[in-house]
Amino acid sequence: MRRRELAGLALWPLLGAGAHAADVPDTLRRGRCAVLLRHASTTAGIGDPPGFTLGQCSTQRNLSDEGRAQAQRIGAWFAARQLAPGAVRTSAWCRCRDTAQLAFGQAIHWSPLDSTFENRKLSPAATQALRGALAALPAGGFEVWVTHQVNITALTGEFSSMGQGLVVDAAGQVVQTLAFDGA
């Protein structure tokens, strides 16, 4: 592979003293965890434009060209390590669904992952549903949940960049942070 392609597959564990890239696949294979993946890079903006309609991608802030490439790199990283999530769950927003489809070829909508940006009153119920699902994850299996920064922060207290993943254990604690760079 060319250097650029190798760099694009880079995984940078950012949390945990002594964490190494090799630790992440081991953590995922042990299971009882989920990767909270913030959707890949989008066109400029915050939230969605005026006139946004959930079922119409043309009215939303969507993945940029770099975001589509980033989502493919994410999927390539998992595939290269033979890491197959038990499920890939996603928000209904097009940027999340597209990230999941491009990375993993599949996406199951799960409403607790829907953005609570415009209605923060939904956040406690969504966060509780995420915590319940984390506690039920089996040993030897992991899931990928593609969602929004606001939902990730509500669950973990951590900020995540677009295309960044947080490996969260069954108790809801961040154990590793994954960044798929665009080098």
Closest CA to 156 of 169, 132, 170, 172: 172
The predicted model gives 147-176 an average pLDDT of: 94
Antiparallel, parallel or unpaired: β 87-90 and 33-38? unpaired
**Per-residue pLDDT tens over the stretch 11-40:** 443 333 334 455 899 999 999 999 999 999
Over 90: is that where the pLDDT of 82 sits?
Answer: yes
Q: Are 121 and 12 in contact (CB under 8 A)?
A: no
Over 90: is that where the pLDDT of 73 sits?
Answer: yes
**Alpha carbon of 153 to those of 71, 158, 161: distances in Å?**
21, 5, 11
pLDDT of 120 = 63
Antiparallel, parallel or unpaired: β 108-109 and 87-90? parallel
**Per-residue pLDDT tens over the stretch 110-129:** 999 998 876 666 678 999 99
**How many domains does one find in the chain?**
1
Q: Are 89 and 70 in contact (CB under 8 A)?
A: no
Over 90: is that where the pLDDT of 132 sits?
Answer: yes
Domain with 99 in it? 3-45+53-179
φ/ψ bin of 51: left (φ > 0), alpha (ψ from -120 to 50), beta (otherwise): left
Over 70: is that where the pLDDT of 8 sits?
Answer: no
Question: Measured between alpha carbons, how far is 120 from 122 in angstroms, rounded to an integer?
Answer: 5
Over 60: is that where the pLDDT of 2 sits?
Answer: no
Confidence of residue 76 (pLDDT cuts 50, 70, 90): very high
Mean model confidence pLDDT for the chain: 85
Amino acid letter at 63?
A: L
Q: What is the pTM of this model?
A: 0.86
Question: Measured between alpha carbons, how far is 142 from 151 in angstroms, rounded to an integer?
Answer: 19
Q: What is the CATH number of the domain that holds 156?
A: 3.40.50.1240
